[in-house]
């Protein structure tokens, strides 16, 4: 079954070029030329991945990402001429899975699409299908976490971060390690975005826990609490 890719770009030549290269690689391609159409197609067609330009009419790309990410875990690769660190961090913090700056090689885009889909759809063969820690349950098959039986609304990045930490309790991960494992490769210079994701994840999974599940190892990174560490 072909993966369905939604290309969102108001530059029609760019959109059609991407469509051509993606279809040659075996994907079924949908195209939207503005933000509102992108949200509608994202909701109705449930694509396997979205290539999303940031500068769009009707509704900006960041808003499209915010809306769709709140409703689903569809992988999103952002395409934009914006190159400042702040722009990239904002897009990643909203839940984008990758970030490609214009001008780009269509072949590079296709390669990134393959990589993101591979990471997203790969089977989770290693380790147990579920981990329980205190009142927190993480189900890797259903890709969901529950606290006291209530489902938590985690972004894909937050869930991946939690998965990495909780599968190796007590092991200290550097920020760079987490950045590479959560985003798939090294976003050089963006280590501090890990701090933002950890902060947001803590708010969701710890509730009123007396001892933080995710502990900061100053000067290095983070680790998940071991049972023997519990107060």
DSSP characters over the chain: -PPEEEEE-S-HHHHHHHHHHHHHTT-EEEEESSHHHHHHHHHHH--SEEEEESS-SSS-HHHHHHHHHHH----EEEEES---HHHHHHHHHTT-SEEEESS--HHHHHHHHHHHHHHHH----SS-SEEEETTEEEETTTTEEEETTEEP---HHHHHHHHHHHTSTT--EEHHHHHHHHHSS--TT-THHHHHHHHHHHHHH-TT-SS-SEEEETTTEEEEPPGGG--
> pLDDT per residue over 56-85, tens digit each?
998 988 899 888 877 777 889 988 876 666
Q: Are residues 117 and 188 in the same domain?
A: no
Containing domain of residue 76, as a range?
A: 4-121
Q: Supply the pLDDT for residue 83.
A: 60
**How does residue 100 score in pLDDT terms, banded at 50, 70 and 90?**
confident
Q: Are residues 100 and 175 in the same domain?
A: no
Q: Are residues 66 and 162 in the same domain?
A: no
> pLDDT per residue over 139-180, tens digit each?
887 778 999 889 898 887 888 899 999 988 999 998 888 887
Q: Are residues 161 and 113 in the same domain?
A: no
Q: Is the pLDDT of residue 231 over 50?
A: no
Q: Are residues 112 and 23 in the same domain?
A: yes
Q: Are residues 73 and 42 in the same domain?
A: yes
Number of domains in the chain: 2
84, two tokens: 């400042």
Q: Are residues 139 and 86 in the same domain?
A: no
Can you give the CATH number for the domain in which 188 is found?
1.10.10.10
Q: Is the pLDDT of residue 187 over 60?
A: no
Q: Are residues 32 and 134 in the same domain?
A: no
Picking from 95, 121, 147, the residue at the C-terminal end of a domain is 121
Q: Are residues 109 and 185 in the same domain?
A: no
Picking from 121, 154, 170, the residue at the C-terminal end of a domain is 121
63, two tokens: 């808003």
By mean pLDDT, which of 39-53, 157-171, 180-194 is the weakest? 180-194
> pLDDT per residue over 196-220, tens digit each?
889 999 999 987 667 789 999 988 8
């Amino acid at each position: 079954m072909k993966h369905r890719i939604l290309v969102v770009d108001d530059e029609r030549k760019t959109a059609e070029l991407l469509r051509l290269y993606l279809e040659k690689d075996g994907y079924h391609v949908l195209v939207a030329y503005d933000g509102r159409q992108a949200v509608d197609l994202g909701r109705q067609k449930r694509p396997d991945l979205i290539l999303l330009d940031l500068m769009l009419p009707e509704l900006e790309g960041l808003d499209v990402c915010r809306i769709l990410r709140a409703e689903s875990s569809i992988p999103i690769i952002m395409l934009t001429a914006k190159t400042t660190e702040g722009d990239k961090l904002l897009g990643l913090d909203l839940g984008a899975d990758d970030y490609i700056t214009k001008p780009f090689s269509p072949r590079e885009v296709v390669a990134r699409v393959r990589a993101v889909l591979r990471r997203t759809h790969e089977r989770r063969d290693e380790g147990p299908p579920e981990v329980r820690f205190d009142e927190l349950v993480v189900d890797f098959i259903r890709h969901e976490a529950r606290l006291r039986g209530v489902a938590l609304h985690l972004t894909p990045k937050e869930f991946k971060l939690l998965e990495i930490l909780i599968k190796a309790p007590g092991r200290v991960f550097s920020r760079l390690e987490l950045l590479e494992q959560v985003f798939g490769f090294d976003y050089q210079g963006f280590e501090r975005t890990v701090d933002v994701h950890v902060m947001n994840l803590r708010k969701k999974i710890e509730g009123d826990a007396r001892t933080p599940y995710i502990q900061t190892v100053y000067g290095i990174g983070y680790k998940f609490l071991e049972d023997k560490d519990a107060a």
